[in-house]
Amino acid sequence: MVIKSDIAEKAGLKTEPVAIVWSNTKPEHVLEIRPGTWACLMWFYAKAALEGKVTALSRNAFGCSGGAMGIGFGRPFEKHSSGNEENFCCFLSNGREGSKDTDAYDTQLESISNSHQKEMLIVGERIKKNPSIAKEFLKALPFYDVPTEYVLFKPLSLTEPDEMIKSIIFLANPDQISVLSILANYHRGQITDGVVVAAGAAGCQAIGVCTYNEEKSENPRAIVGLTDLMARKSVRRTLGSDKLTFSVPYRLFLEMETNVPGSILESELWIELRDGV
């Protein structure tokens, strides 16, 4: 049975929705990351959305530590160039300036041969004001240690209903984000609680653990992501500069699909916007 999306068709999306699937089986002819190799997982998401490619991620091959956290492989701080959680919080914020033990931090810096990685640890990513706030961010970021061997990026049409589908990701421009936001809130009377912007989260964290976490809620929310500048830089040439991700847990996706008939997606106003009339 091929899963299709009326939402994607009527929203005029140019790419197929992508599913994140937890699996103990690795499909044939998948993309994989070589263990120990740095890679932005959003590039692999883009391959699934644009080219129909399937990617298999594992605990030994996940691209980067932020990516491991994002798709649910725990918190492998020791595999990041910072070496531990305290230093990682410095990396997310103001680098060496924020370290409480600069001697230990300098020792870690001396062990790094990659000049770009070393420079980033010195100055920090500056996405949080200081390491204390970065630690609060990590505490708020949902923690998952997935029970399966693999996490897959799969085009929706290649999934099966009996798979462990944890997240459905739409790639959308501002008009499409608007109509998807309305549809996510269509069946309830909320205004501010139906859609969340994953500010400060990595692109993979937004479509991964932040979306997984909504599955547990009585009223699951949609997550707007790809607000991560590093991820945007990685996929700008392939996805364009005007796109964001709009991800929902599978349960919410199915509910939204049933609500398409008679919704804003079939209105004259939306059709005019979609078709540029």
Cα–Cα separations (whole angstroms), residue 202 to 99, 106, 141, 156 = 22, 26, 10, 22
Using pLDDT thresholds of 50, 70 and 90, give the confidence band for residue 220: very high
Q: Name the pTM for this structure.
A: 0.94
What digits encode the pLDDT tens for the residues 185-206? 998 887 888 899 998 899 999 9
Amino acid at 61: A
pLDDT beyond 80 at 137: yes
> Are the C-beta atoms of 200 and 137 separated by less than 8 Å?
yes
Cα–Cα separations (whole angstroms), residue 240 to 92, 216, 232 = 26, 33, 9
> 56: which strand partners?
32, 152
Three-state secondary structure readout of 120-174: HHHHCCCCCCCHHHHHHHHHHCCCCECCCCEEEEEEHHHCCCCCEEEEEEEEECH
The confidence score (pLDDT) of residue 4 equals 85
pLDDT beyond 80 at 85: yes
> Are the C-beta atoms of 66 and 204 separated by less than 8 Å?
yes
The confidence score (pLDDT) of residue 44 equals 95
Using pLDDT thresholds of 50, 70 and 90, give the confidence band for residue 250: very high
The confidence score (pLDDT) of residue 199 equals 86
Using pLDDT thresholds of 50, 70 and 90, give the confidence band for residue 2: low
Domain boundaries, the chain: 16-65+145-275, 76-140
Cα–Cα separations (whole angstroms), residue 233 to 51, 66, 212 = 19, 16, 25
Using pLDDT thresholds of 50, 70 and 90, give the confidence band for residue 277: low
CA angle 73–74–80, rounded 5-degree value = 90
19 closest CA partner among 197, 257, 254, 249? 249
What digits encode the pLDDT tens for the residues 92-128? 999 999 999 999 999 999 999 989 899 999 999 999 9
Which pair of structure tokens corresponds to residue 108?
């870690």
Torsion sign (Cα): 239, 241, 243, 245: positive
